[in-house]
Structure formats: C-alpha cells, structure tokens
Amino acid sequence: MKVLVLGGAGYIGAHTAKALAARGDQPIVVDNLSSGRRDFVRWGPLVQADIRDGAALDAAFAAYKPDAVMHFAASIEVSIGEREPLAFWDNNLAGSISVLGAMQRSGCRRIVFSSTCAVYGEPERLPLCERHVRKPINTYGRTKLAVENVLEDAARAGDIEHAALRYFNASGASPDGDIGEEHEPETHLIPNALKAAAGLGGPMQVFGSDYATRDGSCVRDFIHVDDLAAGHLRALDRLAGRGGSFACNLGTGQGVTVMEVLDAVETVVGRPVPRVMSGRRPGDAPELYADTRFARDELGFAPARSNIEQIVEDAWRYHGPRWRSAAAA
Ligand code: UDP
C-alpha cells in the first residue's frame, strides 16, 4: 500500500513509516518540520508542507495517489495547549479538516488517526475502555476529541473509513537505536529520568507522591513505540480488509508507577536517578491504563516489547551515547 504519513518526521510517525517500509508498504511523509526531524525521514520521500495548506496536500495526493492516510501531525505538548489554545485548535482541528477536504477531493477514503487516552479525561472506571465517557480536561485532549467527532460525522456520511487510535504512554525507541524520542522542550518521564541518571541538568522532579496508588506516585500504561507502530499496521489492514470505522486503545493494560519507572532507569543505566519530590502536576490523573480487549479481539494486536525495562533499555540505547558524552564535557 502507498500511505501518506502526515507528521512522519516526528517520533511515532517515523517509527510507523519505518514499520510500513519494513513490510513492503510505501510511506510518503508529509511534514512541515516544525518539530519533526529531516533525518527521521529515511523510508520514503518527504513532502515538506503544512497540513493546513490544501493546495500542497492536493499536489501530494495527485503525485502519489495514496491508498490511505496516517495522520500523526499535531501539536502535542499539553502545557503549550493551555497557554496558546488558538494555535493548538488551528493546527489540530483546522489541520485535520484540511486533510479530510484533500482526501475528499482526491477520492482517498481511509485514514488512521493519532488520538489519545487524554480524550477520556478523569477515569470513572479502570481499565479505560473505548466506551468510557469522553470528557477531556485539557486543550490537547479537547482538540483530539473534536477531530474524533469530525471523523465520526464524515464516516456516518459515507465519506471515509477511519481508525481513531487512542495511545497511552508512547515510549522507548527503535531497538537498533536509529530513531527515538526527541521533544523540545522534553517533558516526558522516561527521557527526563534518563537525562538525570546521565548527570545532565540536575535532579528530575517527581510530580506527586501522595496519590492513592501502591507507592503514592502516578500510574501510567507505557507502550513501546514499535508496538504502537505495529498497532497502526493492524488498524490499516483492518480498514483495507473489512472496512468500517472504529476507535481503539493502544496500551498494554498494565499500570506502572512513576517510581517503578525510576527503578527501571536505575537498573538499566546502573546509576541512581537524582530526584526531588514535587507537588502534583495540574491535570495529571492518578491512574491511567487501557482496556486492551478491543485491540486484541478486533485487531489481533498484542504488545511485544512493552515491558518497562525493555522500553527503558531501548530509550537508553538511543539517548545514552549523546547524553553520556554531554555530561562528561
Ligand atoms: N512525571 C514526573 N516527572 C517528570 C515528567 C513526568 O513525575 O519530569 C510524571 C507525570 O506527573 C505523570 C507521569 O510521570 O504522572 C507520566 O508523565 P508524562 O509527561 O511522561 O506523560 P503523560 O502521562 O502526561 O502523557
């Protein structure tokens, strides 16, 4: 299949482009490189364009005639969304509507959309199942929910068939160490803990140690980025085969605490993680983990590399060489 990978120079998009190419599909990356990296585009051509540029999308659809779209292009940093909501809505919602318009003009009907467990908001029941009420508590989650709503309307009207994949905590890096997680600023737990263990930038902050969890820290569901990529291929195959539209969690179903992640980092790096205990971070739910039954039963999906030590080991293989030498300098 030829697949237009929007945001394919970013973390999850690049891993999915690699996975598509590895099985013989053809990824064509569309990315404005605002946060994506040129050197992460290695498995097919790059169209450097913004998804809000309808004419540029029309040209890409005309040139490559893709069988499907995978849509990773979005603003994702939660705190920036709170500070600059209009820019977030423009990129995430207006951008996605622009993509759907270009699909309609070109006749391309299949789309796999990067959604998030943030669409659920505060869990009323755990594990979080796809039918859980969607009441996001931040701008980021609300923009993603809005796109899900647009996709559902377009699907009902018969315009598209789509998968909305609700990621839990994407983490890890490609096992061969060639691509990994690069965010600026970096706010995520595992890279921050690895950095602190490497001796870069001082102690990390642990946001909250008084939650009603087994050790007082938050519980999250960490899924290896290669498992996420594999989930995308399953979703694509399901759209190409049976068709229809669906939402699906991509997680492991296993909750891991922040403290357990720090233990894994210490084991893998062989050094302590300097830390300070801080207050709760606004907007953090105490516990989030996925109900994985739909992914398993409907997509035949099971994570293969999402053990927390494996995730940390792969992330460290990617970051370690650079951060060790930066800390030594
Ligand atoms: N966290 C932390 N220190 C950090 C970054 C994150 O204690 O430097 C905690 C955060 O409060 C949350 C968990 O780690 O409970 C995962 O946060 P992350 O930002 O990686 O992902 P999120 O769950 O917010 O998508």
* Domain chopping of the chain, boundaries: 2-170+222-250, 189-220+253-289+305-328
- DSSP letter at 152? H
Query: If you classify domain 2-170+222-250 with CATH, what class do you get?
Result: alpha beta
User: 189-220+253-289+305-328 sits in which CATH class?
Assistant: alpha beta
Residues 6+ apart with CB under 8 A from 249: 117, 128, 129, 130, 165, 166, 168, 290, 291, 292, 294, 295
Give the distance (Å) from ligand 1 centre to CA of residue 297: 30
Q: Is 69 in the pocket of ligand 1 (CB under 6 A)?
A: no
Catalytic residue numbers, as ranges:
140
Q: Which backbone phi and psi does 246 adopt, to 5 degrees?
A: -160, 160
- Which protein residue has the closest C-alpha to ligand 1 atom 18? 188
The closest alpha carbon to 92, from 128, 136, 59, belongs to: 136
Look at residue 128 in the predicted model and tell me its pLDDT.
98
206 lines ligand 1 (CB under 6 A): yes
| 188 CA from centroid of ligand 1 (Å) | 6
Average pLDDT, the chain: 97
Pocket test for ligand 1, best of 115, 138, 168, 220 (most atoms within 8 A of CB): 220
| Low pLDDT (below 50) residues in the chain | none
Q: Whose CA is nearest to atom 14 of ligand 1?
A: 189
| Ligand 1 center from residue 41 Cα (angstroms) | 28
CA-278 nearest atom, ligand 1: 7
Confidence (pLDDT) at 282: 87
Tell me whether the omega of the peptide bond preceding residue 85 falls within 30 degrees of 0, making it cis.
no
3-class SS of residue 207: strand
Q: How far is the CA of 276 from the centre of ligand 1 (A)?
A: 14
CA of 207 to the centre of ligand 1 (A): 7
Query: Number of C-alpha atoms within 13 angstroms, CB side, residue 291?
Result: 16
User: Rounded distance, CA 5 to CA 119, Å?
Assistant: 22
State pTM to two decimals: 0.97
Looking from the CA of residue 204, the nearest atom of ligand 1 is 8
The number of beta carbons lying within 10 Å of the beta carbon of residue 242 is 10
Per-residue tokens: 5:
């990978």
**Ligand 1 within 6 A of CB of 275:** no
Pick the atom of ligand 1 nearest to 280's CA.
11
The contacts of residue 267 (CB under 8 Å, 6+ apart) are 309, 312
Ligand 1 close to Cβ of residue 170 (< 6 A): no
182 token code pair: 């690069």
For residue 283, the CA-to-ligand 1 centroid distance in Å is: 11
**Is residue 157 within a helix (H) or strand (E), and if so which, with residue range?**
none
Ligand 1 atom 7, closest CA:
206
Ligand 1 lined by 187 (C-beta under 6 Å):
yes
